Chains A and B, each alone.
Chain A
């Protein structure tokens, strides 16, 4: 128990948390952009709404739609909250607002609810419960303006970063186990079978016509092995960087081959960068930022 608490509380570079705080809301906003463009259909009361019925899995709560006249206000609130989190302007309060608005929409309109909508409230709560915004944002900049000697913290209490690290491992491992329970161990062309509908892109058509069937089977096996054992790959220092690169490549590939999924891919990439970006890259990013704030650092001792 003590060992776990030590691991959880071990201070982490604050840039990890701030990267997630900056990137995740932007990917979420990108995903929601098509909904925000038709906000009346998304959450308004004049669009098609499911009739009242109870389905514990797909429709667990009946939530009234918003009057059309108020949908724009809802959209503005959501966008401002997401941008405030990303900019580091009162990000913890803004994260609560972002989580609440997206949770409302996720429960209110089952038809436009996807993984991104369902994980956003969790991400928002995690950010609100963290000291995000202490560096690399508007709040930190304002603090420096008030007190020029103020230096932002370089580290953060580990819990919030650990949350995102375990979150990614849980999603990957859970997804891998769901695939193993599904067709991924019995059907050699699961990946290939999904390349043919309206989610496809020019890249996926090109890949489908270029990569032989055995290549798709190999890719499928690699994804399955990576996902099922993700907690191991990310826990071991020797495999962590490779797992990080594999995950980046996997999400990049998914985003390019399944166009509607690109925002989910970008969200996962944002979380990965914050959670598992190798320390040496993180340090060089941090030093570059420090030099911009204090050019005297370049002068050396």
Chain B
């Protein structure tokens, strides 16, 4: 017996047993079927397979719809001192892919803007992070007691008109009709936070 590899192998095989390729073929067929069914909007695969698996088959529905506007998601903080909503930049606390739609704040808003538990968690996270920064050093916006999230819906240019490069502008510079508000910290919670500004949201219960 020797451990030396043979001089030449003509065709490489992954498995010695003929059974495994057959099993893998079935697995592959199930996978492709689930990808295809998801793409055509069927739910059959979700009834036959665990959701954890079908999650990985939601891959083919790319850009199916036309964009009706350029959508950007923004957040304002309730400035306790000025009693005003002032824009805060979520990209400081969501630095990954900060300048694109792939940013996690943008995605949280895109998917879950109407899901209250997610918005409350987002509120607690942003308020805590922002106020912790204020505690360390002066910020443009002081202590905040809550957040207000919104989408800015910028109309598309008319086809044939000049297309200008996209630029991120301050939220206040957009016309009122382009703002769509989604979530607002209740006044009672804002007042509570403003009276105890450096207590973590988690500590407030």
Chain A positions within 8 Å of B, measured between CB atoms, are: 8-9, 11, 14, 34-35, 37-38, 41-42, 48-51, 53, 56-58, 60-61, 92, 103, 106-107, 109-112, 114-115, 118-119, 121-122, 126, 129-131, 134-135, 143, 146-147, 149-157, 159-160, 163, 166-167, 170-171, 173-175, 177-179, 181-184, 187, 189-190, 192-200, 202, 205, 208-209, 212-213, 259-260
Given contacts A60-B50, A122-B56, A135-B12, 5 further A-B contacts (CB under 8 A): A48-B93, A49-B121, A159-B24, A178-B39, A200-B165
State A1–B159 Cα separation when bound (angstroms).
Answer: 52
Report the bound CA distance from A53 to B111 in whole Å: 13
B117 & A51 in contact (Cβ 8 Å cutoff) = yes
Contacts of B67 in A (CB 8 A): 193-194, 196-197
Question: Do B36 and A134 have beta carbons less than 8 Å apart?
Answer: no
B14 on interface, CB distance cutoff 8 Å: yes
Q: Is the CB of B46 within 8 A of A56?
A: yes
A-B Cβ contacts below 8 A, count: 230
Of the candidates B46, B66, B94, B99, the one whose C-beta lies within 8 Å of that of A48 is B94
30 contacts between A and B (CB under 8 A): A8-B21, A35-B96, A41-B95, A41-B96, A50-B112, A51-B120, A60-B50, A112-B97, A112-B104, A130-B14, A135-B12, A143-B5, A147-B4, A150-B5, A153-B11, A153-B12, A156-B12, A157-B13, A160-B14, A171-B35, A174-B40, A177-B40, A178-B40, A179-B62, A189-B159, A196-B156, A197-B101, A202-B165, A213-B159, A260-B102
* B133 on the A face (CB < 8 A): no
Write the chain B residue with the least CB distance to A35: B96
* Distance between Cα atoms of A178 and B40 in the complex (Å): 6
Shortest Cβ distance from B110 into A: residue: A111
Contacts of A103 in B (CB 8 A): 56
| Min distance, Cβ A185 to any Cβ of chain B, angstroms | 11
Is B136's beta carbon under 8 Å from chain A? no
Interchain CB contact under 8 A, A48 and B96: no
Task: Determine whether B25 belongs to the interface, using a CB cutoff of 8 Å to chain A.
Answer: yes
Query: Could you tell me if A155 and B11 are in contact, using CB atoms closer than 8 angstroms?
Result: yes
The answer to the question of B76 belonging to the interface, with a C-beta cut-off of 8 Å to chain A, is: no
Option from B21, B41, B97, B163 in Cβ contact (under 8 Å) with A260: B97
Report the minimum CB–CB distance from A78 to chain B (whole Å): 15
The residue of chain A having its C-beta at the shortest distance from the C-beta of B68 within the complex is: A193
Decide yes or no: A182 and B14 within 8 Å by CB, A60-B52, A174-B39, A193-B156 being known contacts.
no
A257 to B159 alpha-carbon distance, docked (Å) = 17
Q: Are B56 and A106 closer than 8 Å at their CB atoms?
A: yes
Bound CA–CA A48/B99 (angstroms): 18
Contact check, A170 vs B60: say whether CB atoms are below 8 A apart: yes
B186 within 8 A of A: no
Cβ 8 A contact of B64, one of A173, A182, A199 = A182
Nearest neighbor of A4 in chain B, beta-carbon distance: B25
Q: Which residue of A lies closest to B7 (CB)?
A: A149
Partner of A155, one of B12, B112, B160, B166: B12
A154 touches B10 (CB 8 A): yes
Note all chain B residues with C-beta closer than 8 A to A92: 14
Inter-chain CA distance A34–B102, complex, in Å, is 10
Q: Are A50 and B60 in contact (CB under 8 A)?
A: no
In angstroms, Cα B94 to Cα A111, docked, is: 11
B65 within 8 A of A: yes
**Contact yes or no, B165 A205, CB < 8 A:** yes
Assembled-state Cα–Cα distance A170/B39 (Å): 10
From the candidates A160, A170, A200, A259, name the one contacting B36 in the complex (CB within 8 A).
A170
Closest to A208 in B: B163
Task: Find residues 61-104 in chain B having any chain A CB closer than 8 Å to their own CB.
Answer: 61-68, 70-72, 93-97, 99-102, 104
CA A109 to CA B97, docked complex, whole Å:
14
Q: Tell whether, in the assembled complex, residue B97 and residue A174 are in contact, meaning their CB atoms are under 8 Å apart.
A: no
Judge if B187 is at the interface, Cβ distance under 8 Å: no
What residue in chain B is nearest A12 (Cβ atoms)?
Answer: B11
State how many angstroms separate the Cβ of B117 from the closest Cβ of chain A: 5
Contacts of A143 in B (CB 8 A): 5
The B1-20 residues at the A interface (CB cut-off 8 A) are 4-14, 20
Determine which of A153, A178, A202 lies in contact with B60 in the assembled complex, contact meaning CB atoms within 8 Å. Answer: A178
Most chain A CB atoms below 10 A, which of B5, B54, B163, B166: B163
B35 contacts across to A, CB distance below 8 A = 170-171, 174
Could you tell me if A171 and B60 are in contact, using CB atoms closer than 8 angstroms? yes
A48 touches B104 (CB 8 A): yes
Given A121-B56, A190-B66: A41 touches B94 (CB 8 Å cut-off):
yes
Contact of B62 with A155 in the complex, beta carbons under 8 Å: no
CB <8 Å contact, A174 and B7: no
